Amino acid sequence: MMNNKSDLDNILQAAKLLCDQQGARITPKRLMVLEVLLMSSVPLSAYELADSVALHKKQTIKPMSIYRILEFLVGQHLAHRLNMTNKYVACNKILCCQEHGVSQFLICSQCEQVEEVPMPKELLNGFMQQLDDAGCSIAEPHIEVAVVCKKCQSNNASAPNIHNKNQYQGKNNNANSVC
Protein backbone atom coordinates (compact mmCIF):
# COMPACT_ATOMS: atom_id res chain seq x y z
CA MET A 1 0.00 0.00 0.00
CA MET A 2 1.27 3.41 -0.98
CA ASN A 3 0.78 6.12 1.66
CA ASN A 4 3.26 8.72 0.45
CA LYS A 5 1.96 10.93 -2.40
CA SER A 6 5.49 11.55 -3.68
CA ASP A 7 6.25 7.80 -3.86
CA LEU A 8 2.92 7.20 -5.56
CA ASP A 9 3.64 9.91 -8.15
CA ASN A 10 7.10 8.43 -8.78
CA ILE A 11 5.64 4.96 -9.35
CA LEU A 12 2.97 6.30 -11.70
CA GLN A 13 5.65 8.21 -13.65
CA ALA A 14 7.75 5.03 -13.86
CA ALA A 15 4.69 3.13 -15.12
CA LYS A 16 4.16 5.75 -17.84
CA LEU A 17 7.82 5.48 -18.84
CA LEU A 18 7.69 1.68 -18.95
CA CYS A 19 4.60 1.79 -21.16
CA ASP A 20 6.21 4.38 -23.46
CA GLN A 21 9.32 2.20 -23.78
CA GLN A 22 7.15 -0.77 -24.74
CA GLY A 23 5.05 1.24 -27.18
CA ALA A 24 1.94 0.83 -25.04
CA ARG A 25 -0.51 3.65 -24.33
CA ILE A 26 -1.41 4.17 -20.69
CA THR A 27 -4.62 6.19 -20.61
CA PRO A 28 -5.85 8.31 -17.69
CA LYS A 29 -8.34 5.56 -16.74
CA ARG A 30 -5.59 2.94 -16.76
CA LEU A 31 -3.48 5.18 -14.52
CA MET A 32 -6.46 5.71 -12.24
CA VAL A 33 -6.99 1.96 -11.81
CA LEU A 34 -3.26 1.42 -11.23
CA GLU A 35 -3.26 4.21 -8.63
CA VAL A 36 -6.18 2.61 -6.77
CA LEU A 37 -4.36 -0.75 -6.82
CA LEU A 38 -1.22 0.92 -5.46
CA MET A 39 -3.20 2.59 -2.67
CA SER A 40 -4.97 -0.60 -1.62
CA SER A 41 -3.67 -2.64 1.30
CA VAL A 42 -5.35 -5.80 -0.03
CA PRO A 43 -5.93 -7.34 -3.47
CA LEU A 44 -9.04 -6.10 -5.26
CA SER A 45 -11.51 -7.71 -7.65
CA ALA A 46 -12.69 -5.84 -10.74
CA TYR A 47 -15.93 -4.93 -8.97
CA GLU A 48 -14.06 -3.74 -5.86
CA LEU A 49 -11.82 -1.67 -8.13
CA ALA A 50 -14.84 -0.10 -9.82
CA ASP A 51 -16.23 0.80 -6.38
CA SER A 52 -12.86 2.17 -5.19
CA VAL A 53 -12.41 4.28 -8.32
CA ALA A 54 -15.91 5.70 -7.80
CA LEU A 55 -15.22 6.40 -4.13
CA HIS A 56 -11.67 7.78 -4.33
CA LYS A 57 -11.56 9.25 -7.83
CA LYS A 58 -15.22 10.23 -8.28
CA GLN A 59 -15.19 8.47 -11.67
CA THR A 60 -17.41 5.70 -12.95
CA ILE A 61 -15.72 2.87 -14.80
CA LYS A 62 -17.84 -0.15 -15.63
CA PRO A 63 -16.52 -3.53 -14.43
CA MET A 64 -16.13 -4.75 -18.04
CA SER A 65 -13.83 -1.80 -18.73
CA ILE A 66 -11.99 -2.51 -15.48
CA TYR A 67 -11.34 -6.07 -16.71
CA ARG A 68 -9.86 -4.73 -19.97
CA ILE A 69 -7.74 -2.23 -18.03
CA LEU A 70 -6.53 -5.00 -15.72
CA GLU A 71 -5.64 -7.15 -18.73
CA PHE A 72 -3.54 -4.25 -20.02
CA LEU A 73 -1.86 -3.65 -16.64
CA VAL A 74 -1.05 -7.36 -16.25
CA GLY A 75 0.27 -7.48 -19.82
CA GLN A 76 2.57 -4.54 -19.10
CA HIS A 77 3.79 -6.14 -15.83
CA LEU A 78 2.26 -3.31 -13.78
CA ALA A 79 -0.20 -5.57 -11.94
CA HIS A 80 -0.64 -9.25 -11.15
CA ARG A 81 -3.75 -11.43 -11.13
CA LEU A 82 -3.90 -13.70 -8.10
CA ASN A 83 -5.62 -16.91 -9.11
CA MET A 84 -6.13 -18.04 -5.53
CA THR A 85 -8.41 -15.09 -4.80
CA ASN A 86 -9.34 -13.97 -8.33
CA LYS A 87 -8.14 -10.49 -7.38
CA TYR A 88 -5.42 -8.10 -8.50
CA VAL A 89 -2.44 -6.34 -6.92
CA ALA A 90 -0.04 -3.73 -8.25
CA CYS A 91 3.42 -5.04 -9.07
CA ASN A 92 5.98 -4.04 -6.47
CA LYS A 93 8.77 -3.82 -9.09
CA ILE A 94 7.45 -0.90 -11.14
CA LEU A 95 9.87 1.64 -9.69
CA CYS A 96 12.97 -0.50 -9.67
CA CYS A 97 12.33 -2.00 -13.13
CA GLN A 98 13.65 -5.39 -12.03
CA GLU A 99 13.19 -8.33 -14.33
CA HIS A 100 10.06 -10.13 -13.30
CA GLY A 101 11.00 -13.78 -13.57
CA VAL A 102 8.93 -15.89 -11.18
CA SER A 103 7.59 -14.20 -8.07
CA GLN A 104 6.08 -15.78 -5.00
CA PHE A 105 2.94 -14.19 -3.63
CA LEU A 106 2.45 -14.83 0.07
CA ILE A 107 -1.28 -14.34 0.64
CA CYS A 108 -2.52 -14.16 4.23
CA SER A 109 -5.59 -16.34 4.51
CA GLN A 110 -6.92 -14.19 7.37
CA CYS A 111 -6.36 -10.52 6.46
CA GLU A 112 -5.71 -10.89 2.69
CA GLN A 113 -2.41 -8.97 2.87
CA VAL A 114 -0.16 -9.94 -0.03
CA GLU A 115 3.60 -9.82 -0.14
CA GLU A 116 5.38 -10.25 -3.47
CA VAL A 117 8.81 -11.76 -2.95
CA PRO A 118 11.31 -12.87 -5.57
CA MET A 119 11.96 -16.57 -5.83
CA PRO A 120 15.69 -17.26 -5.30
CA LYS A 121 17.30 -18.70 -8.45
CA GLU A 122 18.42 -21.88 -6.64
CA LEU A 123 14.89 -22.57 -5.45
CA LEU A 124 13.44 -21.74 -8.86
CA ASN A 125 15.94 -24.03 -10.62
CA GLY A 126 15.08 -26.91 -8.26
CA PHE A 127 11.37 -26.28 -8.70
CA MET A 128 11.68 -26.13 -12.50
CA GLN A 129 13.64 -29.41 -12.45
CA GLN A 130 10.86 -31.06 -10.41
CA LEU A 131 8.30 -29.81 -12.92
CA ASP A 132 10.40 -31.11 -15.80
CA ASP A 133 10.84 -34.49 -14.09
CA ALA A 134 7.06 -34.69 -13.72
CA GLY A 135 6.60 -33.81 -17.39
CA CYS A 136 5.01 -30.44 -16.57
CA SER A 137 5.75 -26.81 -17.28
CA ILE A 138 4.81 -23.69 -15.37
CA ALA A 139 1.53 -22.19 -16.59
CA GLU A 140 1.62 -18.92 -14.63
CA PRO A 141 4.60 -16.60 -14.14
CA HIS A 142 4.18 -16.66 -10.36
CA ILE A 143 3.51 -18.94 -7.42
CA GLU A 144 0.87 -18.24 -4.78
CA VAL A 145 1.16 -19.54 -1.23
CA ALA A 146 -1.53 -19.24 1.45
CA VAL A 147 0.11 -18.09 4.68
CA VAL A 148 -0.76 -16.48 8.00
CA CYS A 149 1.16 -13.19 8.27
CA LYS A 150 3.04 -12.10 11.41
CA LYS A 151 0.33 -9.62 12.38
CA CYS A 152 -2.40 -12.27 12.23
CA GLN A 153 -0.16 -14.76 14.02
CA SER A 154 0.31 -12.31 16.89
CA ASN A 155 -3.42 -11.51 16.91
CA ASN A 156 -4.07 -15.24 17.23
CA ALA A 157 -1.27 -15.92 19.72
CA SER A 158 -3.69 -17.64 22.09
CA ALA A 159 -5.01 -19.91 19.33
CA PRO A 160 -3.20 -23.19 18.71
CA ASN A 161 -0.61 -23.08 15.92
CA ILE A 162 -2.03 -25.27 13.17
CA HIS A 163 1.15 -25.34 11.09
CA ASN A 164 4.39 -25.37 13.02
CA LYS A 165 7.10 -24.09 10.67
CA ASN A 166 9.52 -26.70 12.04
CA GLN A 167 7.39 -29.52 10.65
CA TYR A 168 8.34 -28.36 7.14
CA GLN A 169 12.05 -28.18 7.84
CA GLY A 170 14.54 -30.99 8.00
CA LYS A 171 15.85 -31.93 11.45
CA ASN A 172 19.16 -30.11 10.88
CA ASN A 173 17.72 -27.37 8.68
CA ASN A 174 17.89 -23.92 10.27
CA ALA A 175 16.14 -22.11 7.40
CA ASN A 176 14.14 -19.10 8.49
CA SER A 177 10.48 -18.86 7.63
CA VAL A 178 9.49 -15.96 5.38
CA CYS A 179 6.43 -15.20 7.50
Q: Which residues have CB under 8 Å from 1's CB, separation 6+?
A: 38, 39, 40, 41
Q: Of the spans 53-67, 106-120, 126-140, which averages the highest pLDDT?
A: 53-67
| CATH of region 101-179, choose from 1.10.3720.10, 2.160.10.10, 3.30.1490.190, 3.90.700.10 | 3.30.1490.190
- CATH number belonging to domain 1-95: 1.10.10.10
Q: Which residue has the higher pLDDT, 28 or 93?
A: 28
Torsion of CA 152, 155, 160, 161, to 10 degrees: 30
pLDDT tens readout for residues 97-126: 656 677 889 999 999 999 988 888 888 889
**CA-CA distances (angstroms) from residue 28 to 46, 59, 69, 84, 158?**
17, 11, 11, 29, 48
pLDDT of residue 6: 87
Domain boundaries, the chain: 1-95, 101-179
The predicted model gives 15-29 an average pLDDT of 95
Question: What single-letter amino acid sits at 170?
Answer: G
Average pLDDT score over the chain = 85
Q: Of the spans 25-34, 88-97, 130-139, 168-177, which averages the highest pLDDT?
A: 25-34
pTM: 0.78
Torsion of CA 165, 170, 172, 175, to 10 degrees: -50
